[in-house]
Chains A and B, each alone.
Chain A
Amino acid sequence: MDGMTGGPEAQWRAALADGRFLLQRAISSGTVFFPPRVMEPGTGETDLEWVEATGLGHIYSLTWVSQKPPVPPYNVAIVRLDEGAQLMSRIEGANPETLRIGQRVRAKIGTQDDGAPILLFEPTGH
């Protein structure tokens, strides 16, 4: 993790601000996990490296949060990445009628209201 400063969380956020979606991998076990940590969860191993995420995964679970009409509902999803790690996110470009658990999704980096980068997903074409 040469050239990166601060703890794993700060490093991950700095990379996201640079347009990169990173994941940690424990070198000895090959396990990829999220959120970033100072050790591999469950083993305490500290031989960690950053890898570029493929950004591909699927919707493990999904809820639509109602808002006061006419404001449309927004979704909150648990995305299971192909690498095995899991995170909460939002699926952009989707609606309650068509979006389903199991749908393949691809990561993209968006911007929050305060200008901070945010990791989002969108359905893949197939």
Chain B
Amino acid sequence: MGGDFPRGKSAIAGLATFGVGEAPGFSSMELTARAALLAVEDAGLRIDAIDALFICQPDDFFAGLSFAEYLGLSPRFTDNNRTGGSAFMSHIITAVMMLEAGYIDTALIAYGSNQRTNGGKLATSIKPNSWDAPYRPLFPLSSYALAAARHMHEYGTTREQLAEVAVAARQWANTNPEAFAKGPLSIEECLASRIISSPISVRDCCLVTDGAAAIVLTRTDRARDLPRPVVPVLGAAAATWWNSIAQASDVTTTAAAESGPRAYHAAGIGPADVQTVQLYDAFTINTVLFLEDLGFCPKGEGGRFVSGGTIAPGGTLPVNTNGGGMSYCHPGMYGLFAIVEAARQIRGEAANQLGKIDVALAHGNGGTLSSQATVILGSADTL
């Protein structure tokens, strides 16, 4: 067997973000707990209804324990997954399975970081492994640069095409009041920005911001009795192919090429059914790679696909409609924010609402293109 997924049996019943951008004076746990409280309130519940906690803080190895203590809960289950920015998609998988089994009743998935106002330093202690470290790759940036360089070499992808990703993200952010980075951004400006680790320049990189997000999951039959529109989880899958980019047999293809098809299979849909894509754009090359790997264009065509505003406002495939990690927020790990935006689109309350959305995909990336996890959310009409 393997691969079975209880399609639509669990749903996001509440969601929230807090402190997106700059939240001076807040600790990471304070931001996380504020988002958690707002999400629980959004679900029409009290915090003591939560019986399972899922969290992955950048600065706290024992974050699950700290979170339980902070909230004053004694959860039946606590998960502190360490697959990086994809952890939150994996949290959904675990929570859905546990909800379906009746092992838990109400799961809270949360994340928060004060990475920007806490001195602007990356609140992470993650380092390259002992085999890679002597060569001083910038972590994680050089790993993405190695993927981008090979993608350019094999498929003719250009810096102009990568810049299209950053410009599209900014255009979405410009009409999202919550987004941190706003204002005009041109392809030329991106191309003129300083190269950090070739071919990646400053404008190919995500933001460094504060911010927190949280979602509440429960069984869909119960979620229907709660105040907000249900956002059922139609399918989800996670895949891990390597840790160090140096061990990738093909750096131009990520494990999203596995997690995507498995998630589609679980949901009973394909890429053509997806109305909006929210993906983890730590660097511009991510968007190109994931759109290919998730089946929105053939391998190698991602650069051409994103050109000409395809993924920007008014384009044929709305991607990262909140502005993404490039221009909305990136507090160390972005995965949960992609999920929240996908759910907001389905609930009809996104800042850049696309109309009625019934199927939205949220994709998370962890490590250095290492861990990939895909979640497909639907509306009540998809059940």
Contacts and interface: CB of A to CB of B under 8 A. Distances in A.
Interface stretch (B67-75, B131-139, B324-332): B131-139
A65 B357 CA distance: 42
A11 interface: no
B137 A88 contact: yes
Given A76-B146, A78-B245, A112 B134 contact: yes
Contacts, number: 71
Interface of B is mostly: mixed
B356 interface: no
A61 B138 contact: no
A86 B245 CA distance: 10
A61 B142 contact: no
Interface string A25-69: 000000000010000000000000000000000001111111000
Contact of A65 (B138, B149, B246, B247): B138
Contacts of B244: 88
Contacts of A104: none
Q: How many interface residues does chain B have, given as a range?
A: 20 to 34
A27 B200 CA distance: 41
B135 A88 contact: yes
B251 A61 contact: yes
A13 to B, nearest CB: 10
A72 interface: no
A87 B134 CA distance: 12
A90 B146 contact: no
A19 interface: no
A101 B142 CA distance: 15
Contact of A76 (B196, B197, B249): B197
A61 B195 contact: no
A88 B246 contact: yes
A101 B196 CA distance: 19
Given A63-B146, A63-B149, A76-B146, A96 B198 contact: yes
5 contacts: A62-B149, A66-B198, A78-B246, A78-B251, A101-B153
Interface of A: 35, 60-66, 73-74, 76, 78, 86-90, 96, 101-102, 112, 116, 118
